Structure 1
């Protein structure tokens, strides 16, 4: 088979429309015109191929922002009273089960009354504190050690009760009460309470109106001015920890203080990946 025959066979079977036009042109002028057209189109092909390849090497990405409205899981709320035990109950058994706690509470309160001065007697080393911070830290460590010596039954009787501590609550515009809280024991703050322990609650919209609201009663004295709670710090209030599913409350690290007589609002940001 000659080269000419092979070339004309390629022309007959080629899918490129310009090549047959070159081979079977009726005149030299038409053949030259088709050659120019094919070369120009081939140059355009090379240009587009190079542009696409260079764009691919830049690894472009398209980001589409969308707003998806729907329910999101609500976190678990942990609440602890800064005063872990009821002093009125401890006072009833101040000579037996709660002797050390009663004596410590009186000595610690005497220190607060004297503006962090030394007290006498000092059975628990309060006077060894160098400053206000050191004395507060010693006081917290002391009550943790003393409470660790109590049995679960003793703690249950002297601990705060959810019904007296949490007066009312509202979640996502629906009423709830103290029965929706589950108690647990913290080494420092005694009986604490958990909301949404089963992690089934969800919120549909952002904003405080669709969150969790609750009213707590935290007292240190009765109407006669007598202390009714065992103080851990020099002020009354609660500590609140907000954790996702499976989170550790870690009140000493993540607890947010909420003092008495104030409306405390805590905002959360939900990030989904």
Structure 2
């Protein structure tokens, strides 16, 4: 255990798996009290268990970021239980089944934008309101290289939503810098999570596919994603504001 985030309270949405879980574990290892949020209580409980077994402090709040009342309750619960909200990582998101624009159904588009865009906006809205009234804080939004940096056929809905996440982050960064709130975005490419598997693809097949796609010859690990989040949340990146940090193995180079 180290102390880079000792005394800090960090909220991680989508903390029940993938980059969210790895980020929660990393914050806890570095001294933060971590609250993980998401829709599936079982997954959140597993993250809490892993943190506590390693000697860290963790809590879980079940919430749907696409529901305004849930997000308001989530932020209020974090503050009520732990007395502060210093760091917020807005990681929860949705990846729809690929479909070209003319074949994309309205329900899928609305759901994608509702979770990835509206959900991120709702999260920032309530996080900023607390931080603005209590001396500032740090917000890291998790976007994607798809949309803002890379175009993939069939991923128009997802790409549009993640490009909007980056745009929202830049706007918030400019609007609230004077309030001591620092907002940045992390844009990863495929990471070692089930979300990066194509339909019917095995992990071994994904490894082979990545060799021909990424200059580094592999996809990223969730620990590498977590490390980037922690840097953006730390004082080491104190001069980074409104930044969109790409970690993609060179695929957009």
TM range (shorter): under 0.3
Bigger helix share: 2
Higher relative contact order (CA 8 A, sep 6+): 1
- TM-score, scaled relative to structure 1: 0.23
TM-score by length of structure 2 reads: 0.24
**Larger Rg computed on CA atoms:** 1
